[in-house]
């Protein structure tokens, strides 16, 4: 009996390194998560919900990623991405087009919303029902040359005199406050400000850009990355987009639960606005595309041509190099 116990103990000692002959449970060694930084374009809102869902529900972690969201700093997001200040960022087709025309190597990886949900909004008492009514009014914008080009194009189309439109730079001023301070109309995203107007009891006239001209149905916002960085590390882009797409798919199918997740991460937001906006966005994220995030060459080319023809960029871009669908699941 003593000999048998001695043999068992000897075998256990020999096999400890292989099988762990101990009462302690084995601890599985896991690789550390890869740090990833995502730069937002504005304060958290329902354009970003899929990102927060992907983090909150562990989709990024399942891909081996530790994702951190940061607010934009001084400078445009394409420039910051190209400079290596973040791995991914939220931007707009207009920003990416300008950047690429200046040889800044950024590329769009996904359209957050399939169709342009922005347009010109005004209280109904301003009586602005079409671009023809812009003449004699005051527009409050953020000082972009693209605004001027769009306004001029639409007014010309309707036979309105562009010289009779007054343009005031209001920057990021609140839409509702601006309407009380001499501004007649502004450019808004209906999925946020339009819904907020409804909740405030303000009736709006809303001129949707996508309905005015096909060229204005461009992608805004988009997720971007450095062209050179994703070429060096395509696996990271694949993992990030796979988890992100899963997050937006969840927001599409479960908007109320997705709204809760956004509010959990940004409790300062108006709950009623987030819930209503999320219901609206759920139908817009993928729209009529075969999958969330997918983009088309003709959309990129159409708006790039518009920008070039209106001297908003010094040289035109190769639309096929401005975006890619290859990292979408």
Separation CA 194–CA 245 (nearest Å): 26
Q: Tokens 């759920």 map to which residue?
A: 282
Whether residue 212 is found in the same domain as residue 226: no
DSSP E strands, the chain: 34-39, 65-70, 88-91, 106-111, 118-123, 138-141, 166-169, 185-189, 204-208, 222-226
User: Cα 45 from chain centroid?
Assistant: 10
Whether residue 65 is found in the same domain as residue 86: yes
DSSP E strands, 50-137: 65-70, 88-91, 106-111, 118-123
Is 291 inside a domain boundary?
yes
Whether residue 226 is found in the same domain as residue 79: yes
Whether residue 225 is found in the same domain as residue 107: yes
pLDDT at position 11, please?
37
Give a three-class secondary structure readout of 136-161: CCEEEECCCHHHHHHHHHHHHHCCCC
Is 8 inside a domain boundary?
no
Whether residue 223 is found in the same domain as residue 318: yes
Is 10 inside a domain boundary?
no
pLDDT at position 72, please?
84
pLDDT at position 317, please?
98
Distance (Å) of CA 144 to CA 7, 81, 138, 148, 284:
83, 21, 16, 7, 26
The parts of the chain modelled with pLDDT lower than 50 are 1-28
The 10s digit of each residue's pLDDT in 220-273 is 999 999 999 999 999 999 999 999 999 999 999 999 999 999 999 999 999 999
Check: pTM over 0.85? Answer yes or no.
yes
User: Which of 83-87's residues contact partners 24+ apart within 8 Å by CB, and which partners?
Assistant: 84/226, 84/229, 85/37, 85/39, 86/37, 86/38, 86/39, 87/36, 87/37, 87/38, 87/225, 87/229, 87/236, 87/240
Q: Which of 195, 204, 225 is nearest to 117 (CA)?
A: 195
Q: Are 153 and 131 in contact (CB under 8 A)?
A: no
Which structural domain range is residue 50 located in?
A: 34-115+219-322
The 10s digit of each residue's pLDDT in 86-103 is 999 999 999 999 999 999
- Give the residue ranges of DSSP H helices in 57-185: 59-62, 77-82, 93-101, 145-157, 175-178
Choosing from 216, 237, 256, the residue where a domain stops is: 216
Whether residue 243 is found in the same domain as residue 305: yes
Choosing from 216, 246, 280, the residue where a domain stops is: 216
- Number of domains present in the structure of the chain: 2
Choosing from 192, 216, 240, the residue where a domain stops is: 216
pLDDT at position 30, please?
73
Across the chain, mean pLDDT equals 91
Is 198 inside a domain boundary?
yes
Angle between helices 297-309 and 145-157 (to 10 degrees): 90
């Amino acid at each position: 009996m003593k000999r048998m116990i001695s043999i068992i103990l000897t075998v256990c000692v020999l096999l400890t390194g292989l099988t762990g002959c101990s009462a302690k449970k084995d601890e599985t060694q896991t690789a550390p998560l890869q740090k990833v930084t995502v730069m937002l374009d504005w304060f958290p809102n329902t354009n970003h919900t899929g990102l927060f869902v992907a983090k909150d529900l562990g989709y990024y972690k399942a891909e081996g990623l530790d994702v951190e969201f940061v607010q934009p700093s001084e400078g445009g997001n394409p420039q910051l991405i190209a400079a290596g200040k973040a791995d991914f960022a939220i931007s707009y087709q207009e920003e990416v087009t300008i950047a690429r025309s200046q040889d800044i190597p950024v590329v769009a990886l996904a359209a957050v919303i399939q169709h342009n949900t922005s347009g010109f909004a005004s209280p109904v008492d301003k009586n602005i029902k079409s671009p023809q009514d812009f003449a004699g009014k005051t527009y409050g914008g953020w000082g972009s040359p693209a605004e001027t080009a769009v306004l001029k194009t639409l007014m010309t189309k309707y036979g309105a005199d562009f010289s009779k439109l007054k343009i005031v730079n209001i920057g990021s001023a609140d839409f509702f406050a601006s309407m009380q301070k001499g501004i007649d109309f502004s450019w808004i995203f209906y999925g946020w400000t339009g819904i907020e107007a409804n909740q405030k009891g303000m009736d709006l006239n809303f001129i949707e850009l996508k309905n005015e001209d096909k060229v204005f149905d461009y992608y805004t916002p988009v997720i971007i990355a450095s062209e050179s960085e994703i070429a060096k590390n395509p696996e990271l882009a694949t993992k990030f987009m796979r988890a992100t797409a899963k997050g937006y798919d969840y927001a599409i199918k479960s908007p109320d639960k997705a709204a809760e997740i956004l509010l959990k991460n940004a409790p300062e937001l108006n709950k009623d606005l987030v819930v209503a906006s999320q219901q609206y966005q759920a139908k817009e994220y993928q729209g009529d595309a075969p999958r969330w995030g997918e983009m088309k060459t003709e959309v990129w080319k159409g708006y790039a041509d518009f920008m070039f023809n209106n001297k908003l960029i010094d040289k035109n871009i190769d639309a096929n190099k401005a975006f890619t669908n290859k990292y979408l699941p």
